[in-house]
């Protein structure tokens, strides 16, 4: 009864459904892509689904990570996903694993279990290379997806002689060229579209259907609702992992290889002297009378800001744009004695960079720039819990 509407299809039939039940799929990431992918695979009656994620549910996840709800905040994503999925289909064996997939942990998982498909629902380049390499080494197809802002991409790597991720992208992109959802934003239905299509490709692979998206890249543009398929280069005989003479013969340190971390958490920088920094608590005592530059992008300033602060985005400061305006602003406020300017951002990284730029640029006037340590996140944590963080 449960599967009747898909079983009567010529693409599935009774045999196909039995294949589903006998299959094992592993999904890395229970986020924007992993949630819809897992949901449809569980509904379809895949026998065993392992979900791996190291993170906890945050409020800023809920607009797109559709397995998690308000009551799951701060819970491990895999536990939240498990509970929802189990309530939808208790016949599927769902294995939640609260773990960061790295060269050691993924190798153990993959060698101990015979997965038919790996679904990449992660959000960072290091994990993409890791999953690619482990899939090639263990001969498992990799269903790969990504989504950012209004756009998404989808393809299947290492499937029936098709190219792997390294065939197409032999070298990782420069770390500064990669934008994550936390900085670039993403629309929920765009993730939903790609995650759902990842489930579809997985089902097609398992049922042995023709038309698996191998050797092609699907480009989805949500702003015009258009899909485009581009042909990818075929398998590269010189590929470092799936080529004729592979140079990568065991899993490596992918964070080092990509020069970026295998998660999208922001790493705090520390580039200023101690006397150029002000703690959030101290700042709260002077904020009402101080000149405060909030260097976040305009849209973020519009979402929430401390009254009386002035928005002057770091992107302008970095490029030296609108400096006359800043000069006027500083001159207006300047008195005979040295004047203090407090620089604020979301987490305290861009504000440090801004202080660094500004003190060089305005070294000719009696002004001293201070960084607010930990930015608005620290302000919300230590001073005003009502101040929204995102």
Ligand X SMILES: Nc1ncnc2c1ncn2[C@@H]1O[C@H](COP(=O)(O)OP(=O)(O)OP(=O)(O)O)[C@@H](O)[C@H]1O
Contacts of 376 (CB under 8 A, 6+ apart): 296, 304, 306, 344, 345, 346, 347, 387, 389
Choose among Zn ion, ligand X, none what residue 28 binds, the Cβ cut-off being 5 to 8 Å by kind. Answer: ligand X
- Residue 135 annotated as catalytic: no
Cα separation, 207 vs 99, whole angstroms: 29
181 included as an active-site residue? yes
Residue from 35, 42, 181, 239 in contact with Zn ion (CB under 5 A): 239
Of the candidate residues 6, 23, 107, 124, the single one contacting ligand X (CB under 6 A): 124
DSSP bridge pairs for 344 = 294
Residue 123 makes contact with ligand X by CB under 6 A: yes
**Residue 52 contacts which entry, ligand X, Zn ion, none (Cβ below 5-8 A, type-dependent):** ligand X
**Is 64 marked as binding a ligand?**
yes
Number of residues binding to Zn ion, judged by CB under 5 A = 5
Q: Say whether residue 128 binds Zn ion (CB under 5 A).
A: no
Give the Cα separation of 243 and 51 in Å (integer).
Answer: 30
R_g of the chain, CA atoms, integer Å: 25
- Subset of residues 142 to 181 that bind Zn ion, contact rule: CB under 5 A: 164, 166-167
| Sheet arrangement for strand 310-311 | 277-278, 367-372, 339-344, 291-294, 310-311
> What is the number of H-type helices and E-type strands within the chain?
16, 13
54 binding ligand X? (CB under 6 A)? yes
Catalytic pick among 35, 135, 181, 258: 181
239 is in an annotated binding site: yes
Query: Nearest residue by C-beta to Zn ion?
Result: 239
110: phi then psi, degrees, rounded to nearest 5: -70, -35
**Contact between 263 and ligand X per CB under 6 A:** yes
Structure tokens at 170: 């032999």
Decide if residue 127 touches ligand X (CB under 6 A). yes
- What is 298-324 written as a DSSP string? HHHHHH---TT-EE--HHHHHHTTTHH
User: By C-beta, is 167 or 343 nearer to Zn ion?
Assistant: 167
| Interacting positions 15-44 with ligand X (CB under 6 A) | 28-32
Q: What does the binding site for ligand X look like in residue numbers (CB under 6 A)?
A: 28-32, 52-55, 60-61, 65, 77, 100-101, 121-124, 127, 180-182, 262-264
Q: What does the binding site for Zn ion look like in residue numbers (CB under 5 A)?
A: 164, 166-167, 239, 242
């Amino acid at each position: 009864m449960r599967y009747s509407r898909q079983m009567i299809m010529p693409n599935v039939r009774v045999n196909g459904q039995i294949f589903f039940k006998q299959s094992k799929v592993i999904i890395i990431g229970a986020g924007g892509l992993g949630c819809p992918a897992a949901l449809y695979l569980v509904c379809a009656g895949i026998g065993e689904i392992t979900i791996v994620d190291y993170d906890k549910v945050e409020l800023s996840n809920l607009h797109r990570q559709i397995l998690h709800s308000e009551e799951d905040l701060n819970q491990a994503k895999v536990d939240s996903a498990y509970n929802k999925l189990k309530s939808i289909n208790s016949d599927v064996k769902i294995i939640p694993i609260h773990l960061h997939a790295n060269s050691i942990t993924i190798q153990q998982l993959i060698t101990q279990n015979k997965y038919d498909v790996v679904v990449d629902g992660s959000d960072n380049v290091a994990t993409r290379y890791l999953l690619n390499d482990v899939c090639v080494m263990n001969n498992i197809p990799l269903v790969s997806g990504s989504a950012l802002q209004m756009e998404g991409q989808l393809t299947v790597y290492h499937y029936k002689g098709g190219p792997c991720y390294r065939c197409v992208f032999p070298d990782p992109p420069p770390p500064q060229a990669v934008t994550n959802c936390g900085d670039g934003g993403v629309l929920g239905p765009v993730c939903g579209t790609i995650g759902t299509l990842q489930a579809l490709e997985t089902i097609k692979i398992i049922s042995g259907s023709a038309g698996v998206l191998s050797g092609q890249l699907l480009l989805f543009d949500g702003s015009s609702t258009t899909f485009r398929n581009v042909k990818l280069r075929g398998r590269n005989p010189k590929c470092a992992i799936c080529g004729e003479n592979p140079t990568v013969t065991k899993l490596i340190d992918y964070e080092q290889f990509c020069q970026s971390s295998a998660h999208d958490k922001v790493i705090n920088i520390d580039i200023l002297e101690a006397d150029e920094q002000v703690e959030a608590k101290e700042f709260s005592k002077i904020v009402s009378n101080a000149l405060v530059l909030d260097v976040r992008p305009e849209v973020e300033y519009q979402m929430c800001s401390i009254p009386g602060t002035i928005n002057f985005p770091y992107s302008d400061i970095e490029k030296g744009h609108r400096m006359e305006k800043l000069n006027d602003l500083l001159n207006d406020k300047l008195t005979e004695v040295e004047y203090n300017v407090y620089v604020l951002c979301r987490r305290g990284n861009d504000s440090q960079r801004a202080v660094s730029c500004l003190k060089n640029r305005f070294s000719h006037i009696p002004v001293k720039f201070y960084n607010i340590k930990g930015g608005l996140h620290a302000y919300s944590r230590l001073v005003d819990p009502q101040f929204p963080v995102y």
